[in-house]
Structure 1
């Protein structure tokens, strides 16, 4: 059986993978199957057609998923669900894909394009190793389903109910909604296989060959920015290559063998506006615009350029957050019972934080929408997956069921840590089926009284046993911080007790975080801004977890850091900064981005350069925050998303341009700590020495635009998307070599395709300092030349 339509996926194996980039290969199918189901008064849900062939598996169950409960009460409804293809079929698909790729390379070579395309091919190979690795189980097939009910007095029940579904490997399956609306109307008028065939071929003719393939850092930068022409150079380069290929006279096979002349290429500046419009230069680089001609209608399609893991379809985090925040703010209700993994701020923990904790600690979560369309519960499930993922963690959508019903409850309960959407109110009365119930109709979140209690772990006991003098913040000790976070010792030992009163402080920062989120929603910052906030929250959580493991267990699987071997800088070769400079900017570069012949002795590197991980102003604040987050970190450490994160970080490290420095750590030190002149100089010089190439600059920019959430600071300040501010502060350092080194780094950033947008955000104060440093160096060099001439 090629495909399983059972709602129970196999247990995910934790293997390195990231969200595949959008299809660029012309041979790849955008849509694999098109299905049509209908409801028969005598036989129930039946599958009418499957094109181009049967999906396989239980057709009756598949038809039931396409026709949700109470669908006859609505004229239209949408559902989303996933199919899990078996491993044998996937191996065949992978072999076919490799064969197709080799064939395309051979064809390009025979057409005389090998020379011009070599660089692009190398980039494609590098990106493919980053993006298209094996996933934790066979890749999902995403199914977008449209149900229509048409009144017809000539049939039983007085209505005809039909559903049409598109099965695709693309997580951005929402782009097919306009096509499904047209196609289902066409099918009602002409209920034959030809209607499905026409849609199938129209969709698969969509051309995404001009869509650039971004690496992980470029995707992060694009998602975190609202700049509409960010990375426009990548689109222009592809268009220029396409124009050059079209303008080159076709050569015979013999001529192409003898011709060693490279294919002429055009710079982005050579792309004129009429041709740019012809080839589809986007108005907003966040989306790639294409057109599908179907039923004599040109249907515009906008494909997201930057995709994140666990982001499926179109959903609104703002809608999800508002649904549960409004009742909590107007009429708060304490959680009963509490749970150390969930109520990390006590019984009055914000319901969104409870949901987030439930997802991270792999609890069974159900979204119930009584009398609501199935599309709303499906959107809530998909939104919750993206909420907990933050575009970084994986392991949620593979065990998510955007819509299910009572007939599949036995299979559902076999899945640990599922996230399911239902419309039947019977689920609310069976609290043994779920750990957390999110009622979309009332906006309330409930914790099951039969939830399994968390055991007392070594990490929780570590902070409990610490003397107050070694883990203190003003007015709190290590265990008091843990208690304020809603994780009492009795709860950790398996009881149900937890503090029910006020937390006495926001040691986890959750309350401040939710206040900032709600304020951003009220100020209409937009969906991308809200997603960015949760991305930063998840990033901080993973860095806290790494620090927690190092503190408690002595090492962390979430951190990979070799002995420092840094590219050198001439400014390190002086009496104040250790290191031997035996390279220049023109020195050969190794494959890992370090310059040949340049290496620092790890025993003599300043400690502020070799550090890693999250940054706290004081050890007391570190202990208090780790204690407050101890229970949910311990709850996360045994989940699918944790193991996926460990392997994702290992895979990311392989392709990380700067491996020997924790750029986030160094940037956070500059932002959060009051450093002396020498420690700051060492950090600035280390950053300037390590960041030389475009790929290294891209990694640094991802750090600058991302930052991490810090509840001790006001929104928009320290480390939270501050751009180049803290790098530009190096222009004011007392040492001239530091100022000039920072200025050189900023010049390299200005010349970078994304860096120029960051430089545009630097204020007048920083620009004046930059010009002053360059003018001072020029005057010093001229003076030195004049003295030498004399």
Structure 2
């Protein structure tokens, strides 16, 4: 993004005429290629004249996803660099609607809308300049105002903005340390270095085009300037170091100069692909969470949605609908269209694990749409749309799940079907043989939940019967219901009463609600859903291996790197009963997810991940999970874990990738820090060696400093002992 100077592709102006209705007056610098009537209707939403101002977000150049086509999503961790050829890029549109009352006007007011079309997901940074441009247009309604705005926003300088890798971005977004990656913002490594640097260049990483310009103005930042800002001396090297000056390095500070006014801009650097705008996930949760004494409203049973029975928490029902690609509508009758759009964007982040785990949601999102676009909407599989027209609520065949912002109620359509999302019917094995073999493989350990057992087994049996009768017409329904009923029923007969008392999803939502009510920040709440969705896809890999005996979404096992088999691969369960319970609880949702667009994207993205990973020989997530969840790990297994990490974590890039699996809000290096107290001298020595290696990296040094005081003191003592 730092090398693309064309931040905004188009600037649009629409206005309402009492004779013509909504009309598009200007498109600058050229036409977008989208139907003008559609654009004007989107820019002037229903009820816009009832409020002085409204913000709307919608998308241009959306295409209907086609899973039968092999799509090139290699390196799609940065989707902005994708498809620069013949296909038009997906553009996000930030639209401002302004109503100014005027007694001389025919309707007593002038209603105009101005929009900018950009590829940047952080389009909310353009709100201040769009406000100024709109005011300017009301004073002087001409195309020159749009031209001036276009030139101003595209003159914004992002050349020195760091170009973070995916792993660096994950570290930054889960860290409370505002100075994380400070070294990537420095402009002269010869004068100002990181306290943990050992070489002048190896530990410095730069964004594209981020070097110093070498102009005379830069040279004015000399000795006196740095002394005025404040410096300190690093006692280890004796060299002068510039402090972070209190800047939050999760943002890049720049400016837009419009009509002589310099507007300060803070560009967020931790935005993932599926995060668009400045939505609030906390607001979504609060709106659709019932009061504590009330369990929520019952909905028609659907194996993909009601994971905890008829009173599944509404947010979990919404998350399940997103994962299994249901058609979702957010209805906000009488609400500003911008408010409705933010709920849609929050839902996209919810289902994708905040863009960290899955993708393919924003390309099916319609943050704001109206009745004129309903035909195009219904062509899109698994759309996520925001509307303000109550007519949508009456047409239950148009949607599968409706979220009413006014009432805070989530409703499942009575017309919802069990057909496969996207129309794909895929099963690598005959239903009975595949599921039976899966049952035999999974029957060694068992666990389940009482609510899931009673509701799923009874409804699952009925669904299974229907599926047998309609096997040719609805193969997906047959697979889902048969798989769920036979798998769950075989497992539920072997669970003990203590295990039945636990509901994984209910525990998760209790944890989320406690964080929301405890006024935790937006980043903390997003991290919880990121972890949940990541856990879901790893469980799906285990499920596929059990039921289908093959999977493309699990870390490959290297027999040469792990000759003893102690490291293993895949998800870590505390015990066999937990494994059986988890697979039974998630079976329906996994089957639903396996038929979606996001699943196909994840398969291909995972293959690219493995190909480009510096730690492809070791499943880091599994090893860290062992240290977090398992008790009494054998000494030889702990040694094998540390040896594997020491053999693979050598370069700075490998260190960053490794640290991205240890988010600081979960304790950072604490799981490994426990090895400092191990009874084995070999384990302690290996841990000290690993930590010492990490400490030579600026980011690793901050992780070391983030450990608990007790662990840091122990580490320092062991370093001296080893020395």
Q: Do the aligned partners of residues 140 and 244 (structure 1) sit closer, same or farther apart at CA in structure 2, a change above 3 Å counting?
A: closer
In structure 1, stretches of 5+ residues that fail to align are 1-22, 88-125, 251-263, 567-601, 707-719, 779-790
Give 1:248 shift: 7.4
The answer to whether the 8 A contact 1:395-1:641 is kept is yes
Partner of residue 529, structure 2? 534
The answer to whether the 8 A contact 1:78-1:374 is kept is yes
> What is the rounded CA distance, in whole Å, between the counterparts of 2:212 and 2:368 in structure 1?
47
Q: Do the aligned partners of residues 401 and 55 (structure 1) sit closer, same or farther apart at CA in structure 2, a change above 3 Å counting?
A: same
> What is the rounded CA distance, in whole Å, between the counterparts of 2:440 and 2:375 in structure 1?
48
Partner of residue 142, structure 1? 92
Q: Do the aligned partners of residues 493 and 222 (structure 1) sit closer, same or farther apart at CA in structure 2, a change above 3 Å counting?
A: farther
Match of 1:649 among 576, 595, 606: 606
Q: Secondary structure at the match of 1:432?
A: helix
What does 1:83-162 align with in structure 2 at a 5 Å threshold?
A: 83-84=60-61, 134=82, 138-162=88-112
Q: Secondary structure at the match of 1:613?
A: coil
> What is the rounded CA distance, in whole Å, between the counterparts of 1:701 and 1:316 in structure 2?
27
What does 1:676-691 align with in structure 2 at a 5 Å threshold?
A: 676-691=634-649
> What is the rounded CA distance, in whole Å, between the counterparts of 2:62 and 2:397 in structure 1?
30
The answer to whether structure 1 residue 40 and structure 2 residue 5 are counterparts is no
Q: Secondary structure at the match of 1:161?
A: strand
The answer to whether the 8 A contact 2:322-2:351 is kept is yes
> What is the rounded CA distance, in whole Å, between the counterparts of 1:207 and 1:239 in structure 2?
21
Match of 1:402 among 367, 385, 389: 367
Give 1:767 shift: 2.2
> What is the rounded CA distance, in whole Å, between the counterparts of 2:329 and 2:54 in structure 1?
20
Q: Do the aligned partners of residues 237 and 721 (structure 1) sit closer, same or farther apart at CA in structure 2, a change above 3 Å counting?
A: farther
> What is the rounded CA distance, in whole Å, between the counterparts of 1:453 and 1:662 in structure 2?
36
Q: Secondary structure at the match of 1:413?
A: helix
Partner of residue 490, structure 1? 462
Q: Secondary structure at the match of 1:741?
A: helix
Q: Secondary structure at the match of 1:42?
A: coil
Partner of residue 511, structure 1? 506
> What is the rounded CA distance, in whole Å, between the counterparts of 1:485 and 1:76 in structure 2?
52
> What is the rounded CA distance, in whole Å, between the counterparts of 1:373 and 1:178 in structure 2?
19
The answer to whether structure 1 residue 285 and structure 2 residue 239 are counterparts is no
> What is the rounded CA distance, in whole Å, between the counterparts of 1:173 and 1:486 in structure 2?
48
What does 1:586-601 align with in structure 2 at a 5 Å threshold?
A: none
Give 1:318 shift: 0.4
What does 1:408-423 align with in structure 2 at a 5 Å threshold?
A: 408-423=373-388
What does 1:430-509 align with in structure 2 at a 5 Å threshold?
A: 430-453=395-418, 458=431, 462=435, 466=439, 470=443, 472-473=445-446, 481=453, 483=455, 488-491=460-463, 494=466, 505=500, 509=504
The answer to whether structure 1 residue 731 and structure 2 residue 676 are counterparts is yes
Partner of residue 232, structure 1? 182
Q: Deviations over 1:125-182 (max 9, x none)?
A: x999977663697531110000001111212211110000001110110000111111
Q: Deviations over 1:50-100 (max 9, x none)?
A: 11112123111111110001111111111111111799xxxxxxxxxxxxx
What does 1:87-486 align with in structure 2 at a 5 Å threshold?
A: 134=82, 138-237=88-187, 245-247=212-214, 283-325=247-289, 327=290, 329-390=292-353, 391=355, 392-453=357-418, 458=431, 462=435, 466=439, 470=443, 472-473=445-446, 481=453, 483=455
> What is the rounded CA distance, in whole Å, between the counterparts of 2:170 and 2:433 in structure 1?
34
The answer to whether the 8 A contact 1:393-1:644 is kept is yes
> What is the rounded CA distance, in whole Å, between the counterparts of 2:393 and 2:281 in structure 1?
24
The answer to whether the 8 A contact 2:75-2:608 is kept is no
Q: Do the aligned partners of residues 356 and 238 (structure 1) sit closer, same or farther apart at CA in structure 2, a change above 3 Å counting?
A: farther
Match of 1:762 among 702, 707, 710: 707
Match of 2:581 among 612, 624, 634: 624
Partner of residue 55, structure 1? 32
The answer to whether the 8 A contact 2:43-2:95 is kept is yes
Give 1:199 shift: 0.9
The answer to whether the 8 A contact 2:676-2:714 is kept is yes
Q: Which range moves more in the overlay, 32-41 or 756-765?
A: 756-765
Partner of residue 74, structure 1? 51
Q: Number of matched residues? A: 646
Q: Do the aligned partners of residues 486 and 332 (structure 1) sit closer, same or farther apart at CA in structure 2, a change above 3 Å counting?
A: farther
What does 1:704-719 align with in structure 2 at a 5 Å threshold?
A: 704-705=662-663
Partner of residue 715, structure 1? none
The answer to whether the 8 A contact 2:448-2:580 is kept is no
> What is the rounded CA distance, in whole Å, between the counterparts of 2:438 and 2:268 in structure 1?
50
Give 1:465 shift: 7.7
The answer to whether the 8 A contact 1:485-1:629 is kept is no
The answer to whether the 8 A contact 1:208-1:290 is kept is yes
Q: Secondary structure at the match of 1:236?
A: coil
The root-mean-square deviation of aligned C-alpha atoms, in Å, is 3.6
Q: Which range moves more in the overlay, 380-389 or 466-475?
A: 466-475
The answer to whether the 8 A contact 1:484-1:503 is kept is no
In structure 2, stretches of 5+ residues that fail to align are 65-73, 191-205, 232-241, 468-476, 486-496
Q: Do the aligned partners of residues 423 and 558 (structure 1) sit closer, same or farther apart at CA in structure 2, a change above 3 Å counting?
A: same
Give 1:407 shift: 1.6
> What is the rounded CA distance, in whole Å, between the counterparts of 1:299 and 1:292 in structure 2?
5
Q: Which range moves more in the overlay, 467-476 or 418-427?
A: 467-476
Partner of residue 71, structure 2? none
The answer to whether the 8 A contact 1:141-1:169 is kept is yes
> What is the rounded CA distance, in whole Å, between the counterparts of 2:151 and 2:99 in structure 1?
26
> What is the rounded CA distance, in whole Å, between the counterparts of 2:126 and 2:407 in structure 1?
31
> What is the rounded CA distance, in whole Å, between the counterparts of 1:444 and 1:129 in structure 2?
34
> What is the rounded CA distance, in whole Å, between the counterparts of 2:255 and 2:246 in structure 1?
13
Partner of residue 636, structure 1? 593
> What is the rounded CA distance, in whole Å, between the counterparts of 1:534 and 1:273 in structure 2?
44
The answer to whether the 8 A contact 1:282-1:289 is kept is no
